[in-house]
Structure 1
């Protein structure tokens, strides 16, 4: 019994060593109480935990090993802050004005270093070319010319190598970003498809948590040209094996890339491949399968409970009674919505006469902008005011605004129009 107790104590001590905390401090006038901590899986944010403020300080305990990107979201004010974890305690202080985050002060070594690295990289990519052009118009012996030369030399130099043993994630991120995603004009630095495949196959678990996976996949697809995208994808998946966790995560990302870029034939092909897998499905691919199943033609449109609905007493989408429903996801900052929704408004009375109801779910974040816009829309309106962090983004597989669905009286999806013209044509109102 004593030996078991000792072993248990050792395991408990090990668990405590593996745990790290995220601490965020804000000024007293910051009004949010709730904050949500996320990790990253490919391009998907994964909720870890939700905490409440104690004296304008949030403390999140992370119970296991994690190296990669993290974020904290404040739903009350729609503020998001991003940072990294190297499996050590993280400490941040926020500069806030009018309940909006203006600046982040990184108090831990890893995030302070990462911030400086990112700032240096941005200046090198954006400012250095402009300074080089300006320098042509100033002589080196003038005060301004000397200052220009000094700054160009500073930006042109290396920012110093990162000790991979001390900062494994920063080293991983910087080296692979530089290799696979930098816009180098040097042909010798261009990577080919085989190099990208080898990276995706051999990389450690930091690939999924680094935010590099999707842009590297896009770079891979672009490197093969437009002539045989399916061939490039098959080559990649054959190497990775879709039965493996890495293969499934990559397959999930590819399906969503094809969805975003409206490459419907490719999406259908690889979504079918995912559906037919006989192995255990990982969480990343399972979420993609679920969000797509939710919006298939013939599927029951998942119900959504309204938060602060306008122009209705209904409590949810299912409570809205009509022979047909048009559900549209939109935003007041969306230029296509500005063009399309007025056309829907022109025909709204005709739709109502056919017992067709319109339900608008907004991806706005600014309450004032949203409120002003819906004043012109007599149909059912609702918004979480959380933009792309809104719960219905994943639920209904929304990748762009506006996105339309037509439902029957039983809330089954009977059509997925691409544009408002398709909506009006479906109801013979065009």
Structure 2
């Protein structure tokens, strides 16, 4: 019994050790205490771990194997930065100023290489053609000609020079980004090429950030008149009963939502809801956020953070015959043109016992505070931009986004523009 207990204890102790750690250091003037580590699933950030500062250092222990993109987010100041993991320890130093990230300094080999190759790829795409033309006017035996040749040779190096064995994720990312998304090669890819890649790729597809742009490229190749056939062909090959098929189905629903392709969104959302197999967390989240804001659904309550122009504690606490909920931002050009039109009719709306609730996607407190001085309706913001909790709850993909609720908080209209709002209340 003693031996069994000892082995069990060793295994239990081993399970507590991280597969790898992510260490982040900041300068002493950085005030944030809390930080969140995210992994990636397709285009969605997944919370992996949380930590509090110890002498301006955060150490995240990640217990599982992971190769792909990661992100650290500081909620108090709304700072974030991205990096990669190749299932090895990550070491990062941040230079900050006025509680904002000024520079990200990578100290581990994988992120140094990734950063260098990213910079090289941008130069190759933007600068190499110009340097090649300039070189025609300079002889190789001149100092400038030699320098040009050296730089051109450096930028012309192949992605394949990355050691796939030593750096599998960097090799995967750079190779497939170059093959399917670069200006040089993207036009050569066919839909069958992309289907084969999406079908046969390893798990790094979901963690690479390549999935959504490749899906958009796939749809673009098929053309606007062939969307149904393109998607059906893809899903038939991948099978929506599989985890990858469901991730791609979720991505497609989000893409159609983002680009206002309602017919296609409704079709494939209906397909997702009708699945009888086990549903992945990713697809379940997509179904839930869309179900929350369907016509006739009860709009989920929201607990206000720092509301102005009200004593209400939550959205449900506001009593009115109708409510107009707006998701907006002070940096949104469409909001800048639409909300003043709502302001013009605010008195008429109040006379009809209609209350307006603005939930801001802002990140800058001063910008938000200055803007809401002109808006007499209820305003609130988490000041976390697209990290705001209501993004997923209410399936927000763009600003402004409008919902009209009845007295019982049921969704009775989802106007596309401010004109539709005013038309609904016969004020246009």
State the TM-score bracket (shorter-chain normalisation): over 0.9
| Cα deviation, residue 129, structure 1 | 2.8
After TM superposition, the structure 1 stretch with the greater mean CA deviation from structure 2, 98-107 or 417-426, is 98-107
Are 2:69 and 2:85, in contact at CA under 8 Å, matched by a contact in 1?
yes
Quote the offset at 1:86 in angstroms: 1.0
Q: Which residue of 1 aligns with 2:307?
A: 309
Match of 1:314, SS?
Answer: coil
Task: Indicate yes or no: 2:329 matched with 1:331.
Answer: yes
Work out which of the residue numbers 183, 189, 192 in structure 1 matches 2:190.
192
Compute the displacement of 1:243 (Å).
Answer: 0.6
What's 2:119 paired with?
119
- What secondary structure, in the 3-state scheme, does the structure 1 residue paired with 2:39 have? strand
Alpha-carbon distance in structure 2 between the residues aligned to 1:160 and 1:191: 19
**Aligned with 2:317 (options 308, 316, 319):** 319
Match of 2:420 in 1: 422
Matched-pair contact (CA < 8 Å) for 1:18–1:65: no
**Pairs within 5 Å for 1:20-169:** 20-135=20-135, 144-158=144-158, 161-169=161-169
Which of 214, 223, 226 in structure 1 is aligned with 2:224? 226
Alignment of 1:384-403 (within 5 A): 384-403=382-401
Choose from 211, 234, 237 the match for 2:235: 237
CA drift of 1:128 comes to 2.0
**Closer, same or farther: CA 186–48 of 1 in aligned 2, 3 Å:** closer
Q: Which residue of 2 aligns with 1:206?
A: 204
Deviations for 1:326-382, whole angstroms, at most 9, x for unmatched residues? 000001111100110000000001000100011101111111111111010000001
Greater Cα shift, 411-420 or 195-204:
195-204
Match of 1:215 in 2: 213
Counterpart for residue 172 of structure 1: 172
Q: Deviations over 1:135-180 (max 9, x none)?
A: 5666666655554443233222336622222111111111111111
Does the aligned pair in 1 maintain the 2:304–2:314 contact within 8 Å? yes
CA distance in 1, matches of 2:135, 2:402: 52
Find the partner of 1:249 among 234, 247, 250. 247
Asked if structure 1 preserves the Cα contact closer than 8 Å seen for 2:173 and 2:208, the reply is yes
Within 1, Cα distance between the matches of 2:333 and 2:128?
33
**Counterparts of 2:298 and 2:251, CA distance in 1:** 25
Q: What stretches of structure 1 of length at least 5 have no aligned partner? A: none
CA RMSD of aligned residues (A): 1.8
TM-score (norm 1): 0.95
Pairing partner for 2:402 from 398, 401, 404: 404
> Hey, what does 1:375 align to over in structure 2?
373
SS of the aligned residue for 1:15 comes to: helix
> Does the aligned pair in 1 maintain the 2:74–2:80 contact within 8 Å?
yes
CA offsets, 1:55-90, max 9 Å, x none?
Answer: 000011111111111100001111111011111111
State the distance in 2 between where 1:334 and 1:140 align. 51
| Alignment size in residue pairs | 428
Q: Equivalents in 2 of 1:165, 1:3: separation in Å?
A: 39
TM-score relative to the length of structure 2: 0.96
Distance 1:150 1:293, change over 3 A: same
**Is the contact made by 1:240 and 1:247 (CA closer than 8 Å) also made in structure 2?**
yes
Contact map agreement 1:34 1:76 (CA 8 A) in 2: yes
Paired position in structure 2 for 1:285: 283
User: 3-state SS of the aligned residue for 1:228?
Assistant: helix
CA distance, structure 2, for counterparts of residue 63 and residue 268 of structure 1: 38
Alpha-carbon separation, structure 2, partners of 1:175 and 1:71: 22
**Distance in structure 1 (CA, Å) of the matches to 2:253 and 2:293:** 15
| SS class of match (2:316) | coil
Distance across 2 between alignment mates of 1:185 and 1:93:
35
